[in-house]
Amino acid sequence: MSIIVEAFKKAITFFDEIKNEGIIEDYALIGGLALSAWIRPRTTKDVDLVVVVAKNFKWSDIVSIVETRLQKKIVLHKGTKRMHIKEKLSFVAGQIEVDVISTKDFELAAEAIKKSVTAEVFGKNVKVVTPEYLILLKLLPLSSQDAIDIKALFKKANMRRLRILAEKHFLLSKLEIVSKS
């Protein structure tokens, strides 16, 4: 089994466990691996997840649980008022980085989880954000790789719905730039 597949399966199993325990309400796969549910997979170096922390827990609880149960050193990333991501943690599993983003004050990510669908990725059933939400999330940083991914996802997206969502989340101008390039 490849390193990325093994790290992915361990991460998904762990987040399923803490969801079943009520520590997080829900989570979904985003990023490069989420693409594999919709289009031809591409090489990626990380596993990206977005999570809804349960009401009785705080982000610091998630950090502690990952550190103690997985025995991983955590790197915390703090957002700013201008950033969409307010809370993010990363850890290394084998040679793969796992990035976990909180939905705290991140309406687009919370909505993406609610609208996500279950798909099989590397033989594991996992919630994956839809192509429309994956495109919107990739519009936020909009790296050159994100632009390539977005163009590939256009084939799977409901373009009418995508435009409505992009307008709702103030991303229509970015979407139009990528569409025309």
Q: What is the pLDDT along the chain (181 residues), one digit of tens a residue?
A: 587 788 889 999 999 999 999 999 999 999 988 998 899 877 778 899 999 999 999 999 999 999 999 999 999 988 766 678 899 999 998 788 999 999 999 999 999 999 999 998 888 899 999 999 999 999 999 999 999 999 999 999 999 999 999 999 999 999 999 999 8
Domain positions in the chain are 3-129, 131-181
Percent of the chain with pLDDT over 90: 75
pTM for the whole thing? Answer: 0.92
pLDDT at 2 (0 to 100) = 81
User: If phi over 0 gives left and psi between -120 and 50 gives alpha, with beta otherwise, what is residue 100?
Assistant: beta
Fold of 3-129: Beta Polymerase; domain 2 (3.30.460)
